[in-house]
Amino acid sequence: MKGKFKIERSIYALGMFIALIGVLFLIARSDAVLKFKYFNEPSEHAVVRQEVEGSQNVPSYLLLTGPDQPALQNSLKKRLELMGKDVEVRPISSIESEADLSGYASVVVATEQIDLLKETNIVLRFVQHGGSLFFAVRPSPGPALSTLYQPLGLVETGNFIETTGIKLENPFFGDNGDTVFISDSIINSSLSVRLSGDAKLFASSSSDIPLLWKATYGEGAFIVFNGTMFTAMTDQSLFVKGIQQASEHVIMPIVNGRVTELSGFPFFVPEGRDLSPSYTNRDYYRTVVWPELQRIESKFNLNYTASYLAPVDTGRTDNAPYPVHDDLKLYGRELLRMGGEIAVQLPLSKNADQIASSHDISVQHIKEVLPGYAIRSTSSSSPEVDVELMKDASTTLVPNTDVQKMEKTIVLPKTIEGFSLDDNKKWQLFNELALSGFYAHSLYPNRFFEEGNAEEQLSAFTDLQQSMKDQVPWLRSLTLSKAGEAAYAYIYSDLYEEQDGDKLIFRTTAMKENAHTYYYFSTNRTIAKTEDCKVEKIGEDLYLVEADKLTFSIVLGGLQ
């Protein structure tokens, strides 16, 4: 009898557990969960700030310019500022002594016309005595290059040549990251050169022309970029690599996040059986495409942001419900239960009135289907955006831009699109990740009608996510509004440094309360100790720093 009682008691306990799980599952699948504060109210975090002490400073770089490269000079100055650095700009012809180059973290040459130097021995002495000088554009042949070519790590120089593609000597991220980007769209004007055995090569072209290298000279070093691509802000990953090689350590703020956008949500499709004889188009998306997107999201924790654009012809008559409401309601509520977010997609149009009208209709649809849902973000198909339409959005996604602020809205760049990536798109992704620790990937599932092979493209997308997980497992997947919050410190704060022997003390001026700030920290030394931050090695001489306070410190160890 005693044993029988124990068996029945166990059965009752198991039954109650199963019933509890069932109730929780029903709640999670019901609309009641959408009424929770998490779904319909944006979270607000106070900003904490601190004043810095006079002993601390922001590292300063000297940018030497000429009359030949105004666009390059502007883009490099902007990049250094985005890296959190001060920049002083001077004509290269104004340098008269070694003292003119001293007192900076490094000197960057942003002109091909190095013959404008009054005396090449000035830069030779500067580097020999411990300075670093970075040629950020391929120098033109002439007397100055003839004098400098051996200290620059060259044994032979030839003619100009157009080069394409990029090959990295080592991955930037992880041990198995992408190193080869073969694309005719990646173009440089280079010199045909041969390096000395002492020069350290970081990148070359597809045809093995050296592009970026470092040459030790005396107690300092020359860093040379044998190309012309840094004018484009989106092609400056090798510039950042060169800056990292010019100092014992370099720290730069990043976002540490990625956004995966489902554009054209929720897959409005025409009638018919274009994609499969077994399903109507609408059923195919419901039965095949959407479940697979959900599976991929769950496996890689993507936290989709779905951008909704109201169809031009909604088919509405009088006060009848919009025909599109059913799909928006069905997919939208499932997306929110997955932890995703719904944004308003702005149409590709030059007519401001049409854009504003489309925006208002899209907002109306979302509010009717999801009463009380707070729309926190927008997604634009054009680089030109109307600030007025963004006034109620905390974050917007825009092509061909940088991480920046526009009045009260955080602007994040659309980086790549498509379920599979060629080498040119991989290069774009790699650059944005190296420059800001962020990328946005836009998917257009409704294009399956034009491109076909839906299942193959979804499989390629799975492979891409696995590759990213292997290369950058530390990268956070965020909804668009959360990514905007994560970019706050990247945009609004300054980072000051102070060094006491091997101890580096960093103070940031602002961050969101209860949030973390992230940085790339490059050094060829080991990390001996940290305070109020976590440090993770993510590449060759590269670390990810996660700080939870305004002030944090890193103690350097010996050489790696």
Question: Which CATH number is 223's domain given?
Answer: 3.40.50.880
**Kind plus residue range of the DSSP H or E element containing 520:** strand 517-523
Specify the higher pLDDT residue, 384 or 545.
545
Closest listed residue to residue 106, CA positions, set 134, 83, 70, 125 = 134
Same domain, 170 and 316: no
Q: Which of 190, 223, 247 is the last residue of a domain?
A: 247
Given a cut of 90, whether residue 447 has pLDDT beyond it is no
Which tens digit of pLDDT belongs to each residue from 276-308?
889 998 899 999 999 999 999 999 999 999 999
Name the residue type at position 335. Answer: L
Same domain, 143 and 158: yes
Cis peptide before 67 (omega within 30 of 0): no
Same domain, 472 and 514: no
Q: By residue range, what is the domain housing residue 77?
A: 60-247
Q: Which of 247, 269, 301 is the last residue of a domain?
A: 247
pLDDT at 109: 98
pLDDT at 313: 60
Mean pLDDT on 133-147: 96
Same domain, 347 and 465: yes
Specify the higher pLDDT residue, 559 or 211.
211
pLDDT at 43: 57
Asked whether 61 and 108 are in contact (CB, 8 A), the reply is: yes
Same domain, 103 and 86: yes
Given a cut of 80, whether residue 92 has pLDDT beyond it is yes
Same domain, 417 and 284: yes
Helices (H) and strands (E) in the chain, counts: 15, 30
pLDDT at 362: 92
How many CB atoms within 10 Å of residue 433? 23
Closest listed residue to residue 188, CA positions, set 241, 90, 112, 78 = 112
Name the residue type at position 402. Answer: D
Closest listed residue to residue 368, CA positions, set 405, 429, 319, 403 = 319
341 in any annotated domain: yes
Q: Which of 456, 486, 516 is the last residue of a domain?
A: 486
Same domain, 167 and 294: no
Same domain, 83 and 134: yes
38 in any annotated domain: no
What whole-number distance in Å separates Cα of residue 61 and Cα of residue 425? 31
Instruction: Identify the three-state secondary structure at position 212.
Output: strand
What whole-number distance in Å separates Cα of residue 42 and Cα of residue 44? 6
How does residue 387 score in pLDDT terms, banded at 50, 70 and 90?
low
pLDDT at 271: 83
Total structural domains in the chain? Answer: 3
6 in any annotated domain: no
How does residue 5 score in pLDDT terms, banded at 50, 70 and 90?
very low
Same domain, 498 and 481: no
How does residue 318 score in pLDDT terms, banded at 50, 70 and 90?
low
Which tens digit of pLDDT belongs to each residue from 530-549?
999 999 999 999 999 999 99
42 in any annotated domain: no
Q: What is the dihedral of CA 73, 79, 85, 86, to 10 degrees?
A: 30
480 Cβ contact list (under 8 Å, min separation 6): 259, 261, 305, 341, 343, 376, 377, 379, 395, 397, 412, 440
What whole-number distance in Å separates Cα of residue 61 and Cα of residue 109? 11
How does residue 37 score in pLDDT terms, banded at 50, 70 and 90?
very low
- Whether the model clears a pTM of 0.75, i.e. scores above it, the answer is yes
Same domain, 387 and 413: yes
pLDDT at 350: 67
Which tens digit of pLDDT belongs to each residue from 12-24?
666 666 766 655 5
| Phi/psi of residue 523, nearest 5 degrees | -165, 150
31 in any annotated domain: no
- Alpha-carbon Rg for the chain, nearest whole angstrom, is 27
Given a cut of 70, whether residue 200 has pLDDT beyond it is yes
As a whole number, the mean pLDDT across the chain is 90
19 in any annotated domain: no
16 in any annotated domain: no
- For residue 525, the cross-strand partners are 559
Given a cut of 70, whether residue 57 has pLDDT beyond it is yes
pLDDT at 385: 73
Same domain, 155 and 283: no
Specify the higher pLDDT residue, 559 or 421.
421
What whole-number distance in Å separates Cα of residue 113 and Cα of residue 66? 7
Sheet of 517-523, strand order: 249-254, 517-523, 542-547, 533-539
SS3 assignment for 355-384: HHHHHHHHHHHHHHHCCCCCCCEEEECCCC
Asked whether 324 and 311 are in contact (CB, 8 A), the reply is: yes
What whole-number distance in Å separates Cα of residue 422 and Cα of residue 432? 16
Given a cut of 50, whether residue 28 has pLDDT beyond it is no
Q: Please tell me the total number of residues recorded for the chain in this structure.
A: 560
- Going by the DSSP 8-state scheme, the letter that residue 84 receives in this structure is T
172 in any annotated domain: yes
Same domain, 502 and 464: no
